[in-house]
Structure 1
Amino acid sequence: MHLDEYMDAMQKGEKSFLDTLYEMTELEIADKNKRAMNACVKVANFPFIKTMDDFNFSFHPSLRKEEIIGYTDLRFIENVENLLFIGSPGVGKTHLSVSIGIEAAKHRKSTYFIHCNNLIMQLKRAQIENRLESRLKFFSKYKLLIIDEVGFLPIDSDTSKLFFQLISNWYEKHSTIITTNKPLSHWTETFGDAFLANTILDRILHHCHVIKIVGNSYRTKDLSKELVRDDEKSN
């Protein structure tokens, strides 16, 4: 792409052959790295591409912006720690988890995003087809696993055991980012078994940063304003 420009510069004496060769090699390496990063992001299965720059921190003053952005240095992955985002629907849990995941993927740390219900269905299907071990190994190959919306739907006791197996395989080997709309005290409702819920939490929370997001849904903020205006008009 830059060949003609560099050939021109050489003919005019603006660049030496060695300078041209060096700069073109640097451009090729940068382009190769960019393609590799894009490939890592693509295979991570993100539901959308959003970065920290796209997040409106002013809408959720309870969040410490410096702390959240700090996770993009990826030291939590090097330290084999977990991140747990807790908050009601629409507060930005998924957005933040994806933003951190994208940063990890860009730095060649194998990353995979999956919705909890999809994960559960895959594990159940694998168990029925006698290939549960291979499916667990599939998830274990990633440096960072992002499990979105744990607790959105209840999980029966038998299925909870499959989730426990996944978390146990992952424990102190790789990092996990989990988003949930359920307070930790309600996880027994999610997993249908108090012992299993506490055992799962014990492994997740052992090396974990817990981020609670308090506030209203960002997705419905405009609708809320519209409803207020309608109420004012009717009064």
Structure 2
Amino acid sequence: MTRKRGLTEEAATASIDQACRMLRLPTIRQQFPDLAEGAARDQMSYRAFLAELLLAECDDRARRRSERRIKAASFPRDKSLRAFDFEANPNIDPATVNTLATCEWVKKGEPLCLIGDSGTGKSHLLIALGTEAAMHGYRVRYVLATKLVNELVEAADEKQLSKTIARYGRVDLLCIDELGYMELDRRGAELLFQVLTEREEKNSVVIASNESFSGWTKTFTDPRLCAAIVDRLTFNGAIIQTGTESYRLAHTKALAEQTQAS
């Protein structure tokens, strides 16, 4: 680029556009005209204007990083805590969920269990809390329990087990959904336990299950293995009981009543 003094407004704008392309500053390049007009209107100082530009770029980069982490988590659908209807399921304490949304438990590598019947909001909370963790800068991965076990069995058969476990171990929060929907044979249960123990004291895990802990013997038929897994997940961890009444039905009914009222 040729640097010249006394550029016209048009030339200066073109130079800024070119410089932003070279320096890879897409947000400044896009927002500069509006920010410049606002700065002139508000009589901002040069430093304040520069700060506005740089902060806009930083904020947008942080947003894009969050979007990439959320995409990398492989959530099956978008769910947020704002969209969760606590009135539809009074079993869930909003204060507890809001505390979990700070992601301190992820920072400390603690586990979380969501226990309740189908349709009580477990998966919604699991995905929403996982999304919050991704927005806080943590690496997150979502997976169905059966899919994870099948992947581990295939990896073991192909002599790739350590590599697969290491890949899951690199994420800060592993979200395992629908545990208990299918009985696991001893091999599958042992491989799942291996993933959980490899992550111990390093990374967090959140599990959603339609079975209470007492019913996990149906999923993990080895009593000792079942006890070890329960101990791993309950030691210093949080447990949320989502109950038995369908959250989806109550939430849908509430939305219908709001629509009729409006």
2:133 paired residue among 104, 116, 130 = 104
1:67 paired residue among 72, 81, 96 = 96
**C-alpha distance in 1, partners of 2:221/2:39?**
72
2:199 matched to 1:170? yes
2:158 paired residue among 106, 109, 129 = 129
- Which of the two has higher C-alpha Rg? 2
The superposition leaves residues 37-94 of structure 1 with CA deviations (integer Å, 9 ceiling, x where unpaired) of 1111110111111111111111111221111121001111122211100000000001
**C-alpha distance in 1, partners of 2:34/2:149?**
54
Q: Which residues of structure 1 form unaligned runs of 5+?
A: 225-235
Map of 2:217 onto structure 1: 188
Map of 1:227 onto structure 2: none
2:53 matched to 1:28? no
Map of 1:205 onto structure 2: 234
The structural deviation recorded for 1:21 is: 1.8
The superposition leaves residues 83-116 of structure 1 with CA deviations (integer Å, 9 ceiling, x where unpaired) of 1000000000010011111111011111111110
The superposition leaves residues 179-203 of structure 1 with CA deviations (integer Å, 9 ceiling, x where unpaired) of 0001111111101211211111121
**C-alpha distance in 1, partners of 2:47/2:107?**
39
Query: Normalised by the size of structure 2, how large is the TM-score?
Result: 0.80
Shift in alpha-carbon separation, 1:11–1:56, aligned structure 2, 3 A: closer
Q: How much identity, in percent, do the aligned residues show?
A: 28
**C-alpha distance in 2, partners of 1:16/1:61?**
52
Map of 1:231 onto structure 2: none
The structural deviation recorded for 1:159 is: 1.1
Map of 2:4 onto structure 1: none
Residue identity in the other structure for 1:31: D
2:71 paired residue among 16, 23, 42 = 42
Map of 1:233 onto structure 2: none
Shift in alpha-carbon separation, 1:20–1:122, aligned structure 2, 3 A: same
The structural deviation recorded for 1:15 is: 3.2
Q: Name the count of aligned residue pairs.
A: 225
Map of 1:139 onto structure 2: 168
Asked whether the equivalents of residues 60 and 215 of structure 1 are also in contact (C-alpha less than 8 Å), the reply is no
**C-alpha distance in 2, partners of 1:203/1:59?**
31
The structural deviation recorded for 1:127 is: 0.6
2:244 paired residue among 215, 229, 232 = 215
Please tell me the root mean square deviation across aligned C-alpha atoms, in Å.
Answer: 2.0
Asked whether the equivalents of residues 80 and 207 of structure 1 are also in contact (C-alpha less than 8 Å), the reply is no
3-state SS, counterpart of residue 219 of structure 1: helix
2:146 matched to 1:117? yes
